[in-house]
Amino acid sequence: MRIGFIYNVIYKSRCLYVGSTWNFINRLDTHKSRCYNPKSKEYKNNLYKFIRTTDVWSEFRFTIIDTIETDDSDEDDGLNELLTAEQYYIDMLEPTMNDRDAIVSPEERRKRKAEARKNRTQRNRDTKRFVCEPCGFVGYYKSNLDKHYKTKKHKNINN
């Protein structure tokens, strides 16, 4: 049996966010770390942006609103039960900063993963370019540039 926690983030009596976790104290530390670490993937998350604009971490209350005893003998170690309870509170409290639902369909999960992969690939292409100045060649991998150096075009321009 595992104990899960459903928690909310409140600011000036307004429910901003509902989440779930197995370790509440660790989750608080993670939120704070991601909020103030520009290298974190989640740094641009709406909740974290809002916390940084107010600039007073202590004014945000993180409170446990429910505990869930899950059966960890099933194949997902009780995660589905925890996420179902989280979704119940998201629907009930209507937090303003939750970016997505806790429970998503398999096709929605695939769609999100594909979109994330596409964004990551584009971001890498925008930031990682290998350029041959004399030829104007642009490669997205160092191996492309190495192959380019062996081409007739490159050799003709540089001779």
96 and 112 assigned to the same domain: no
Query: What's the number of domains the chain is made of?
Result: 2
Q: Is 33 exposed, middle or buried (0-12, 13-18, 19+ CB in 10 A)?
A: exposed
Q: What value does the mean pLDDT take over residues 117-143? A: 79
Q: What is residue 137's three-state secondary structure?
A: strand
Question: Domain holding 82: CATH number?
Answer: 3.40.1440.10
Chain centroid to Cα 119, Å, comes to: 12
Distance between CA atoms of residues 10 and 56, nearest Å: 13
Is the confidence at residue 125, as pLDDT, over 70? no
At a CB cut-off of 8 Å and minimum separation 6, what does 48 contact?
31, 34, 35, 42
Q: What value does the mean pLDDT take over residues 107-126? A: 80
Residue range of the domain that includes 30: 2-103
pLDDT-derived band of residue 28, with 50, 70 and 90 as boundaries? very high
132 and 82 assigned to the same domain: no
Q: For residue 60, which of 99, 17, 123, 110 has the smallest C-alpha distance?
A: 17
Domain end point (choices 103, 119, 138): 103
Domain end point (choices 65, 83, 103): 103
Tens digits of residue pLDDT in 38-52: 999 899 999 999 999
94 and 127 assigned to the same domain: no
Structure pTM?
0.67
Is the confidence at residue 15, as pLDDT, over 80? yes
Tens digits of residue pLDDT in 91-105: 999 999 998 888 888
Predicted pLDDT of residue 124 = 66
